[in-house]
Amino acid sequence: MESAIDRTNMSSGLTADELMALYRVDEDDLQRIREHGRIIEPRLGELIEEFYAWLRRQPEYTRFFSDPDKEAAVRKLQQDFWRLFFEAKVDDDYIRGRRSVGEAHARIGLSLQSYFAAVNHFLMMINDTYYDGSQSGDEHGATVNSVTKMVHLDTSLAVESFSVAMNRQLTEQSRAMMEMSTPVTALWNEILMLPVVGIIDSRRAQDVMTAMLSRIAETRSTVIILDISGVAVVDTAVANHLIKITKATSLMGCECIISGVSPAIAQTMVELGIDVGNVKTTATLQDALTQAFRQTGIVLSGQ
C-alpha cells in the first residue's frame, strides 16, 4: 500500500480535482467528512487542549513552544486548519493552504517524524476519542476511511512543500559552502589566487573551475595562482582535474600557476606517469607570486 511519502512526488503541481482523483476522494467522502465535522467541531477546542497536553510530553515541545504567545498563535492556526478540513471544500485555495503548512514546518525546523506523529495522534482523537458513537458500525467505518484519505492528501501536500523548502535551504547552504571553500582572491591587478585545502573530487574540481572562470571573467585577470599546499592527496584523478582547470583558464586568456607542489606530490606524479604538459608549477606560493609579478610586469618597490 502506498504511503503519503510514496505519493509525494506524484502530487507536485496537480490541481485540486487531480489530487482528489489521485487519493480517491469523491463527493461521498467529502459529505461524510462534513457530517463528522458536525460531531467534532463543537469539541474542537477541547480536542486541541488534549492534543497539547500530549504534545508537552514530546521531546521537541520546549524547542518550538517555549513562548506562550507562539503556542497560542499556533493553536489558533490549528483550529482554522481543522475547521477548513471539516468544511471539505477542496479547491485550489485549499491546496495552497495545505502546502503552506509544510513550508512553515520547514522554516521552524520541525522534523517530519514529529509531524507524522502529531498528525497520527490527532487523527486517532478525531476518529476514536472524540467520536460520539452516533453512527452504525458500517457508517463509522466509511467515515473513518474518508477522513483518513483526506488526511493522507493533506499530509502529502505538507510533505511535498516541506521537501521543496528543505532542498532549497540545502542548495543555498551548499552554494554558501562552495563559495567558502573556493575563495578566489584578487592579490594584485590582474593576479588572482585560490588556495585549495582538503580533498579534490570531481564535484569539488568542477566548483573550483567554475569559481575561477567566473572570477577571471569578472576581473579580466591574466594570472591565477592555484595553491594546493593544503591538498591531502594528489593521485591520477586529482592531477587530471588540475590539468583540466589550467586548460580552461588558458582558454580565457589567463595563465594558471599551480603552487605548493611538495616533493611528495612531485614524486607521486612522476611515479604515476602523469603528463603535466605545459602546466606551470612552483614549490611555494612565494615562487608563484614572483613568477606572476614578472609575467604581469609588476615591480615592487625595493626590488
Instruction: Check which CATH number belongs to the domain holding 255 and give it.
Output: 3.30.750.24
Percent of the chain exceeding pLDDT 90 equals: 40
Are 153 and 196 part of one and the same domain? no
Question: Do 204 and 231 share a domain, yes or no?
Answer: yes
Residue 117 has pLDDT above 70, yes or no: yes
Enter the DSSP assignment of 185.
Answer: E
Residues 59 and 163 reside in one and the same domain:
yes
Residue 217 falls inside a structural domain? yes
Report the CATH number at residue 136: 1.10.490.10
Asked which of 176, 195, 226 is the last residue of a domain, the reply is 176
Do 90 and 196 sit in the same domain of this protein? no
Query: How would DSSP label each residue in 193-211?
Result: EEEEEE---HHHHHHHHHH
Q: What is the mean pLDDT of residues 210-221?
A: 92
CA–CA gap between residue 176 and residue 154 (Å, rounded)? 33
Residue 232 pLDDT > 80, yes or no?
A: no
Q: Which candidate, 91, 111, 197, 212, places its Cα nearest to that of 162?
A: 111
197 occurs within a structural domain: yes
Task: Tell whether 16 and 160 lie within a shared domain.
Answer: yes
pLDDT at 142: 96
CB atoms inside a 10 Å sphere around CB 157? 26
Rounded to 5 degrees, what angle do the CA atoms 284, 245, 205 make? 95
Pair (136, 217) in one structural domain: no
Condensed to tens digits (0 to 9), the pLDDT of residues 12-25 reads: 678 999 999 999 99
**What residue numbers bound the domain in which 237 lies?**
185-296
Per-residue pLDDT reduced to its tens digit, 234-288: 778 888 888 889 999 999 999 999 999 888 788 877 877 777 777 889 989 999 9
Higher local confidence (pLDDT), 143 or 102: 143
- Check pLDDT > 80 for residue 58: yes
Q: Who contacts 14 (Cβ-Cβ below 8 Å, separation ≥6)?
A: 22
- Distance of alpha carbon 177 from alpha carbon 203, whole angstroms: 13
Model confidence at 71: pLDDT above 80? yes
Residues 119 and 236 in one domain: no
The answer to whether residue 215 is domain-embedded is yes
How many Cα atoms are found within 13 Å in the side-chain-facing hemisphere of 294?
Answer: 7
Is the pLDDT reported for residue 302 higher than 60? no
Which of 38-52, 110-124, 138-152 has the least mean pLDDT? 110-124
Domain contains 52: yes
**Is residue 257 situated within a structural domain?**
yes
- Asked if 82 and 75 count as a contact pair (C-beta separation under 8 A), the reply is no
Q: Which long-range contacts (CB under 8 A, 24 or more apart) does 249-255 make?
A: 249/212, 249/213, 249/216, 249/224, 252/213, 252/216, 252/217, 253/222, 254/192, 254/216, 254/221, 254/222, 254/223, 254/224, 255/222, 255/223, 255/224, 255/280, 255/295
Is the model's pLDDT at 1 over the cut of 50?
no
* Domain boundary pick from 176, 210, 232: 176
Whether 302 maps to a domain, the answer reads no
Give the burial string for 138-147 (b: 16+ CB within 10 Å, else e): eebeebbebb
158 and 230 together in one domain: no
DSSP 220: T
Q: Which of 121, 143, 176 is the last residue in one of the domains?
A: 176
Looking at 108-112, 228-232, 277-281, 282-286, which range is the least confident one? 108-112
pLDDT score, position 10: 44
Q: What is the mean pLDDT of the chain?
A: 84
| Domains held by the chain: number | 2
Cα 18 to Cα 159: distance, rounded to the nearest angstrom: 18
What is the C-alpha to C-alpha distance for residues 189 and 298, in angstroms, rounded to an integer?
A: 9
* Same domain (yes/no): 24, 145: yes
Statement to judge: residues 111 and 235 lie in one domain: no
Q: Is residue 148 part of a domain?
A: yes
- The pLDDT value recorded for residue 184 is 85
Q: How confident is the model at residue 3 (pLDDT cuts 50, 70, 90)?
A: very low
pLDDT digits (tens, 9 = 90+) for 144-203: 999 999 999 999 998 888 888 878 777 665 555 554 456 888 888 899 998 888 777 777
Q: Is residue 301 part of a domain?
A: no
Q: What percent of the chain has pLDDT over 70?
A: 90
Cell numbers found for residue 254:
589567463
Same domain, 8 and 136: yes
Both 42 and 127 in one domain: the answer is: yes
What are the angstrom distances between the C-alpha of 208 and each of 181, 200, 249? 9, 9, 11
Cα distance between residue 92 and residue 97, in whole Å: 9
pLDDT band at 90 (very low <50, low <70, confident <90, very high): very high
What is the rounded average pLDDT of the residues 96-125?
84
Residue 79 pLDDT exceeds 50: yes
